[in-house]
Structure 1
Amino acid sequence: MNRENHTKNHEKLNAEEMVSRLYPFIVRVFDVYEVQNSGEALYFYGTPKTDAENVRGELWEPLQQFGFGCTLKYELGEHILLIYPEKKAKGKTWINLVLFIATFFTTMICGAWMFGVDIENAPLQLFRGLPFTLAIMAVLGSHEMAHYAMARYHGMKVSLPYFIPFPTFIGTMGAVIRYNGPVPSRKALFDVGIAGPLVGLIMSIAVTFIGLSLEVPAAKSLPNSLMFDLGLPPLFVFIQNLVGATGSNLHPVAFAGWVGMFVTLLNLLPAGQLDGGHILRAMLGKKADLISFLMPRILFVIGLYVIYWLKEDGVIWIFWALLLWIFAAAGHPSPLHDKVKLDKKRILLGIITFILGLLCFTLIPFNPIS
């Protein structure tokens, strides 16, 4: 037997072995009358026992275990279930590490400024911003790692967090993770969506308690620095009362807790691809589209109210309204198991989470001090 025939027989054996392993799962949702092997994929010809959405939903988990994906097509009067090996994308973790280190330093610079350090004249004092860095990185990092852990738990393909260094007043634009592939079910959509805000909020509360127990540094404002008067949300004020903290000035660590609460509020807005949009979509199904449609308009009205009625700075709400208007217009992709509703415990947890989000709301989050 020559090498070419040996290779062909080997591929045939692999294909037959693959069919025998996958066939029991396939026939549950698809009546097969013919199988073809193209060398790169298997073509199952037959009739679906349920709609296309359920076929993919039922097959997603067992196929993932063998490293395969599937597509259901209808061509020339025939239903074709295409099953193919999924290519494993190699993650470039060095990018995550570089961004993490860069964000570590940009947040430390901002933290040092909060302590009144003039970095240009005293660069060695940069380390004084370390408490703020540790606090803000813990708040933002725990949020994204909770998403990551829950996505992996449900078998989803997801990247490690990408921190975003940026010259804002906190030194970062937060962190994001990248999802590859479909969401298997409404349960997975809910669990992944809610994990980040809940864990991030718990970390924010812990950081706030720590920050409010620390003595506020007697720092002088640097020349040409922009100062803000913060609006404290009900949850933050509640913790202040528990700790017995007084005064309007905050320790940088407590400020990191405030940032965490504000980020939680923004993420829990029930619209588009925000965490709140994922949670509501999982809870209500396609009925959530109406709320996602209304949310940017509600924020826009809030912004106009703050600007023209209260004569305060409400630009943040106008900005977020326009942002959501763009991203919510595309709608929310459906999970594979979209017809399987959530259990009552998750519905209750979702309601509680949205209430916690409201406790992080303040009409005027910050006002520049002239």
Structure 2
Amino acid sequence: MRYERPEPPRWRVYSLHLLLFLVTLVTTTLAGIMLTRGGLDFLPLDVFGLRGEALRTELSRGLWFSVPFLGVLTVHEFGHYFTARYNRVRTTLPYFIPFVLGIGTFGAVIRIKDRIFSRREYFDIGLAGPLAGFVVAVPLLMYGFTHLPPLADYLFQIHPEYQQFGADYARHVYPPGAQGITFGKPLIYQWLESWLADPTRLPHPYELLHYPVLLAGVLSLFFTALNLLPIGQLDGGHILYGLLGYRRFNRLSTVLFIGFIFYAGLGIFSLHSDRDTWLYGGVPYALYLFVVFRKLLPTPARTVLLAAAVWFGQLALTVALPGVLGNPGWLVFGLLLGRLTGVHHPPAPDESPLSPGRKVLGWLMLAIFALCFTPAPFH
């Protein structure tokens, strides 16, 4: 007789989800404080030593980031949750993942506890999360752009030294070649900015960190696009699998993944790279390509050939287009896709095609991916 572990008491399960949410609320609030100060580092624990008006000011800035940002993540995850429940697929509540660096969280996940039996169910559950999150993220950005404070009342209070330059401060503060933290602007962000924002109140891209609502909005678009990547078992993978079916999707997903890694590593090495770059980086990069592609092919020999072809292609493109660069930051995510979540999608017992309405909605979601995605989300 097979032993099955009994389900834990509901109060314990709910307590864990609530605890993770509250801890993530704290870490993202601290992250909001750190980001609006203009930094991107460990969370600022010095906040706990503040009192009175100073504490209220810092908490206000932090909460103006954490509440809308976590709101979008929560809506996204509950989109998956309620759609799964509607399809009678057992699933957990969202597990929020706090973190002590950067934006204070790795996002949130739910765990599917039942097998999914049809392409339609994969499609519906995968689509519901990013669609719900997008529907909330756009009004969030609209609010941020229509409620920009005057520079004198906000940004110049943070940087009094800018006051002397007025609205032309960026030309004096950021000379050519200046370094700073910026966020890539997806198409939907650019459209909303040009449509709704008062140009005299728009901050320089290096100052976006001081605007928590806009920051929450642009990060919400980033997470939406990340989930909508049409590869493997990401939400976008579920959607494209529903549209194309098992065989066609897995062939296309493999091609998209190889292209993703090709872009990510583009420009790291070139024929003009110095000796130390090749000496200390060549072997690790070759091993990376082998590891990340290993599950795509049946034999190590074929994996080596694919890795060599990708690397050779990258070098050839840097010769043809000197200065072309990818985004090495994507290499980490590529490793997660290649080794953990997987590039291929499992088949469903019921491979029946989607209805025409769902097909239209699926291609619409891929268009939303294009609106939210930027190849260089952080600079």
Counting strand residues as a fraction of each chain, which structure ranks higher? 1
Q: Tell me, in whole angstroms, the C-alpha distance in 2 between the residues paired with 1:320 and 1:164.
A: 17
**1:303 and 2:303 are equivalent in the alignment:** no
Aligned partner of 1:158 in structure 2 is 91
Aligned partner of 2:289 in structure 1 is none
Task: Report deviation, 1:187.
Answer: 1.3
TM-score normalized with structure 2 length: 0.68
The count of corresponding residues between Structure 1 and Structure 2 is: 280
Aligned partner of 1:148 in structure 2 is 81
Q: Tell me, in whole angstroms, the C-alpha distance in 2 between the residues paired with 1:211 and 1:150.
A: 30
Between stretches 168-177 and 144-153, larger displacement belongs to 168-177
Aligned partner of 1:11 in structure 2 is none
**1:111 and 2:32 are equivalent in the alignment:** yes
Which AA in structure 1 matches 2:333? W
Contact 2:95 2:109 in 1 (8 A): yes
Contact 1:162 1:175 in 2 (8 A): yes
Contact 2:265 2:327 in 1 (8 A): yes
Equivalent in 222, 247, 250 of residue 203 of structure 2? 247
Aligned partner of 2:59 in structure 1 is 127
- In the TM superposition, what are the counterparts of 1:175-186 in structure 2 within 5 Å? 175-186=108-119
Task: Report deviation, 1:183.
Answer: 0.8
Aligned partner of 2:327 in structure 1 is 314
Which AA in structure 2 matches 1:358? A
Which AA in structure 2 matches 1:93? Y
Task: Report deviation, 1:97.
Answer: 0.4
Contact 1:306 1:364 in 2 (8 A): no
Tell me: CA distance 1:133–1:363, structure 2 relative to 1, closer, same or farther (3 Å): same
- Give every structure 1 segment of 4 or more consecutive aligned residues whose post-TM-superposition deviation is greater than 6 Å: 85-89
Q: Tell me, in whole angstroms, the C-alpha distance in 1 between the residues paired with 2:103 and 2:258.
A: 28
Q: Tell me, in whole angstroms, the C-alpha distance in 2 between the residues paired with 1:329 and 1:133.
A: 31
Equivalent in 7, 23, 26 of residue 102 of structure 1? 23
Which AA in structure 2 matches 1:355? A
* Stretches of structure 1 lacking an aligned partner (at least 5 in a row): 1-39, 42-84
Contact 1:272 1:324 in 2 (8 A): yes
**1:187 and 2:120 are equivalent in the alignment:** yes
Tell me: CA distance 1:310–1:111, structure 2 relative to 1, closer, same or farther (3 Å): farther
Q: Residue 315 of structure 1 aligns to a residue in which SS? A: coil
Aligned partner of 2:186 in structure 1 is 233
For the aligned residue pairs, the C-alpha RMSD in angstroms reads 2.7
Contact 1:189 1:278 in 2 (8 A): yes
Q: Tell me, in whole angstroms, the C-alpha distance in 2 between the residues paired with 1:112 and 1:328.
A: 33
Aligned partner of 2:249 in structure 1 is 288
Counting helix residues as a fraction of each chain, which structure ranks higher? 2
Which AA in structure 1 matches 2:192? I
Contact 2:20 2:96 in 1 (8 A): yes
Tell me: CA distance 1:272–1:180, structure 2 relative to 1, closer, same or farther (3 Å): same
Between stretches 304-313 and 231-240, larger displacement belongs to 304-313
Tell me: CA distance 1:98–1:87, structure 2 relative to 1, closer, same or farther (3 Å): closer
Task: Report deviation, 1:337.
Answer: 1.9
**1:197 and 2:130 are equivalent in the alignment:** yes
Q: Tell me, in whole angstroms, the C-alpha distance in 1 between the residues paired with 2:231 and 2:349.
A: 20
Aligned partner of 1:256 in structure 2 is 216
Aligned partner of 1:333 in structure 2 is 346
Q: Tell me, in whole angstroms, the C-alpha distance in 1 between the residues paired with 2:326 and 2:124.
A: 35
Contact 1:211 1:255 in 2 (8 A): no
Q: Tell me, in whole angstroms, the C-alpha distance in 2 between the residues paired with 1:189 and 1:86.
A: 27
Q: Residue 265 of structure 2 aligns to a residue in which SS? A: helix
Task: Indicate the percent of aligned positions where both proteins have the same amino acid.
Answer: 32
Contact 1:297 1:321 in 2 (8 A): no
Q: Residue 323 of structure 1 aligns to a residue in which SS? A: helix
Contact 1:293 1:328 in 2 (8 A): no
TM-score normalized with structure 1 length: 0.69
**1:358 and 2:370 are equivalent in the alignment:** yes
Contact 1:269 1:295 in 2 (8 A): no
Bigger-Rg structure (1/2): 1
Q: Which has the higher contact order (CA 8 A, sep 6+)?
A: 2
Which AA in structure 1 matches 2:228? L
